[in-house]
Structure 1
């Protein structure tokens, strides 16, 4: 969500969509086409572990350097820092053999990271990952053309985003005379398999990464049911109240490991999720601005009754890691006092509404990266709930989050606040493209206490839908095909909402008319008013919609809430 004083930068568009498309296709194809490695296969990349500094590598605008920590293997790794007009691209020309297939991989950490190859002579490839706090392996394959003897391999981040780290790059395939890094061996079995979430029809799993692995296979009762590149997966299509056994193997070009230890999970009796009580089946969320940025200045009492959840934007980070506080902008809001603010919250609650405090926004950075900061986050939020009467928290962190410790923090908060706690989330579209992304993983980790995820379907450019096609923002197809990713990725329909700006002034791009929002809701809940994308099934329990903001809505005569609010509440 935009904060005052700084225009929202354009978000990742067609390049990210292309990268996301490649990633999803590689997930879908898995490693079905990969056989046993040939004796002559080698890693054709030079200085693949950056042990010789930046030798053989060229980084744009002086963005790259080598560091001794963090590293994935050896004693060095690459650190590349994007700037506002530079994506920190580091490249190497690698000798390859014509008419040959290669597996390109690298271990990455930090900000948005892209890996790809150009000049293949056939189809150039790329893959990517959003922010990741731990080392994660990116992998894809390419085939060279009949006259191709070299390709350009690249790593890059994204403009103005956090630095990324990379290590142990591999271009594994037939020896073209320029490589020399050792061939991979069959990886060891994954350790630490665990069940992270269950519903009536799905089980979410995670496990430890395995050095040298390029992918993982998931087995249910001895049958392979999924192939992924990350260290988590959600197995769907399961029967309710049923016990299942799961094992995981690690794979690379040399073969497949032995199976991990088995973990058992029993699916729930009914479909899930919740968090909070007293909300209608279909609900509307609106962000209320605790600042004046040109939109109508409101008090909480001014927010229309069509909003079921009011997210107060925003809490502020403190000097304590993970700590947050809230400072009412009384001056900017025309003298609105803290006592009036608290009284208005109570009045909304008496009318059956929920008021939560939102953490983050475009410029808001709260770091929850270890157990201590997770505890600080939970404790400070609970203190705000007691001080102001908030019903819970909204997570709107747009600079990445650590799924492990954010999940820990929210569970601690839930233990303090009890079953009435409201937890909402407002990730950007790119944060919900894959279940391995930090935001998506957090949502799955806390599914049993989560109220709703209102993905921001704006400031996005083009993105990938659940059918593997790329859609441009501003259409019914964009909303329905992207929401389908969450609906089929493990969240309950009651935990999925569509987030849109209330007016063209509310976002840099992606505004759609209330009619488009209503049509998307109809398409997802009852297969009516769809565009070219038709979901494979309907989701009548879809939670509803969200908007930025109630203030921008008021500036437009409440046109958004009058139309969308009424439509959401009329859904069956």
Structure 2
């Protein structure tokens, strides 16, 4: 969420349409190797630097963190017209089938193979804050004795990391890294939290594991890349038994010792307490950047959720604090601020604290920082009377530990807790993205995701076509990804700038917002994209910001607010 003119993360689409071909094939698991199979890639984990690898334009180096396995990983940085491609020629046997696999993190990342003699293949993923496996298979031609394996990023995007690259199949005779052994069973399985419909689990990481499977009463119900997971869709007041296994390309471990958890009797259900069916969210600026300076009392009644922007990072990892900018807000005192929060709540509104923004640097990347986040946000709720928290971390989230943090906060605050999110468009392009994963992980306590339909350029819609921001189609086709990707319609809102000055790009007139809402909720007012069904439970809309709205005479909230509250 921009504190001034806004961020700008534009994606350059390939002329060939490579990115538009399909959404990422995340979650594929490498086919277990047979006893005779080997990994034909040399220096697959980059433990010997870039030996056996060649990277374009000196774009590659090795780093000690983050790593997926061992003590090193590849870091490759796209620059200018270079996409940071790193390659290795790998010896293979003719007429043979191989599984290409690797782990990536960071910016857009591709893994592929050329020179197969048949059909060359690849897999890719958008940017990710946690390690993600890419995997595909290929068959060599009758005279193929070597192939070229490659990784690369995307023009103008962030650096990517790669580790543990493998081409498993018959020994090509060129040597390679030894095949992994089946991992040991995980230890330390424990219950880290429960709601009426979910159980959160954690366990000790297994050194050579690349993933984990979670079993409920003996049946596999979830997979995880890290040492924690949340199982949802459970019945209230019910006892369940859980076990975990570790996996890699060699196979799956034995099951861990079992733990038993009993779900709560009540609670959860989407969170948010007494919000109306259709709600409007507005960000209130705790700073003066040229927009109208407001007290909370000045925010129009059209806003059902007011997100106070922003909490500040502290020197403690994951922890946040809040400092009212009294001098920048014309002498607005903390006592007045607290009183205004109570008055808004008495009028049926929710006031939450937003964490992040364009310049936010809060990092929740392990269990300790997750606990610090939960404890510090709950402390702010007690101090100021906030109803909950908004997650607006534009530098990325760690799905495992942010989910852990929000569940810990929910355990402290109860079922009335309001949790909102404001991801960028690029963060919600696929359910494999960390932001989307976080939303799905906490779906039972999540109030609404108000994706930012601005400062983003062109993006994929749920129909695989590319749409440009600033149109009804851009709003509806991208919202469709969330609506069909697992979020409830009541958890989806459209986030737009309140004026042309509120963001760098993406402003549309309130009428366009209303048309998009009607298209999604009622099937009317659509552009060229028409959803396959309607979503009458759609939550509503969000704007940055109430201050920019006021600068324009509240033109946004007076039009969109009335329309949202009039939806079926």
Same fold (TM over 0.5): yes
- Distance in 2 between residues matched to 1:220 and 1:89, nearest whole Å: 43
Contact 1:514 1:563 in 2 (8 A): yes
Pair 265,429 (structure 1): closer, same or farther in 2 beyond 3 Å: farther
SS at match of 2:520: helix
Pair 186,119 (structure 1): closer, same or farther in 2 beyond 3 Å: same
Is the counterpart of residue 283 in structure 1 residue 282 in structure 2? no
Larger displacement relative to structure 2 (300-309 or 11-20): 11-20
Pair 228,530 (structure 1): closer, same or farther in 2 beyond 3 Å: farther
Deviations 1:354-378 (A, max 9, x none): 1111110011111223333333323
- Distance in 2 between residues matched to 1:87 and 1:514, nearest whole Å: 40
Larger displacement relative to structure 2 (512-521 or 422-431): 512-521
Matches within 5 A, 1:211-222: none
- Distance in 1 between residues matched to 2:233 and 2:280, nearest whole Å: 29
Contact 1:81 1:157 in 2 (8 A): no
Pair 195,140 (structure 1): closer, same or farther in 2 beyond 3 Å: farther
Matches within 5 A, 1:368-517: 368-517=364-513
Is the counterpart of residue 311 in structure 1 residue 307 in structure 2? yes
Larger displacement relative to structure 2 (251-260 or 417-426): 251-260
Deviations 1:151-189 (A, max 9, x none): 35014488574x654321113356555453345677888
Larger displacement relative to structure 2 (447-456 or 240-249): 240-249
Pair 142,197 (structure 1): closer, same or farther in 2 beyond 3 Å: farther
1:91 is aligned, of 77, 86, 89, to: 86
Larger displacement relative to structure 2 (524-533 or 115-124): 115-124
- Distance in 2 between residues matched to 1:339 and 1:198, nearest whole Å: 35
Matches within 5 A, 1:118-267: 119=114, 122=119, 125-128=122-125, 130-133=127-130, 135-141=131-137, 150-156=147-153, 161=158, 164-173=160-169, 178=174, 180-182=176-178
- Number of residue-to-residue matches in the alignment: 562
Gapped regions of structure 2 (runs ≥ 5): none
- Distance in 2 between residues matched to 1:469 and 1:243, nearest whole Å: 45
Pair 57,524 (structure 1): closer, same or farther in 2 beyond 3 Å: same
SS at match of 1:298: coil
Pair 73,213 (structure 1): closer, same or farther in 2 beyond 3 Å: closer
Task: Report deviation, 1:426.
Answer: 1.0
Contact 2:98 2:168 in 1 (8 A): yes
Deviations 1:47-78 (A, max 9, x none): 2121322112234565543345654444x422
Contact 2:355 2:390 in 1 (8 A): yes
1:49 is aligned, of 45, 50, 54, to: 45
Contact 2:230 2:441 in 1 (8 A): no
TM-score normalised according to structure 2 size: 0.80
- Distance in 1 between residues matched to 2:3 and 2:164, nearest whole Å: 39
RMSD: 4.5
Q: Which residue number in structure 2 is paired with residue 555 of structure 1?
A: 551
Is the counterpart of residue 58 in structure 1 residue 58 in structure 2? no
Pair 354,164 (structure 1): closer, same or farther in 2 beyond 3 Å: same
Pair 204,324 (structure 1): closer, same or farther in 2 beyond 3 Å: closer
Contact 2:191 2:199 in 1 (8 A): no
Contact 2:267 2:415 in 1 (8 A): no
Q: Which residue number in structure 1 is paired with residue 2 of structure 2?
A: 2
Pair 257,479 (structure 1): closer, same or farther in 2 beyond 3 Å: farther
Pair 476,190 (structure 1): closer, same or farther in 2 beyond 3 Å: farther
SS at match of 1:448: helix
Is the counterpart of residue 343 in structure 1 residue 342 in structure 2? no
- Distance in 2 between residues matched to 1:196 and 1:90, nearest whole Å: 43
Q: Which residue number in structure 2 is paired with residue 300 of structure 1?
A: 296
Task: Report deviation, 1:557.
Answer: 3.2
- Distance in 1 between residues matched to 2:455 and 2:61, nearest whole Å: 32
- Distance in 1 between residues matched to 2:139 and 2:272, nearest whole Å: 52
Pair 456,125 (structure 1): closer, same or farther in 2 beyond 3 Å: same
1:274 is aligned, of 264, 267, 270, to: 270
Contact 2:234 2:263 in 1 (8 A): yes
Contact 1:59 1:88 in 2 (8 A): no
Contact 1:526 1:539 in 2 (8 A): yes
Pair 352,70 (structure 1): closer, same or farther in 2 beyond 3 Å: closer
Pair 395,272 (structure 1): closer, same or farther in 2 beyond 3 Å: same
Task: Report deviation, 1:220.
Answer: 9.9
Q: Which residue number in structure 2 is paired with residue 528 of structure 1?
A: 524
2:111 is aligned, of 107, 116, 126, to: 116
- Distance in 2 between residues matched to 1:458 and 1:197, nearest whole Å: 36
Larger displacement relative to structure 2 (397-406 or 231-240): 231-240
- Distance in 1 between residues matched to 2:194 and 2:467, nearest whole Å: 30
SS at match of 2:444: coil
Q: Which residue number in structure 1 is paired with residue 362 of structure 2?
A: 366
Is the counterpart of residue 356 in structure 1 residue 352 in structure 2? yes
- Distance in 2 between residues matched to 1:36 and 1:417, nearest whole Å: 44
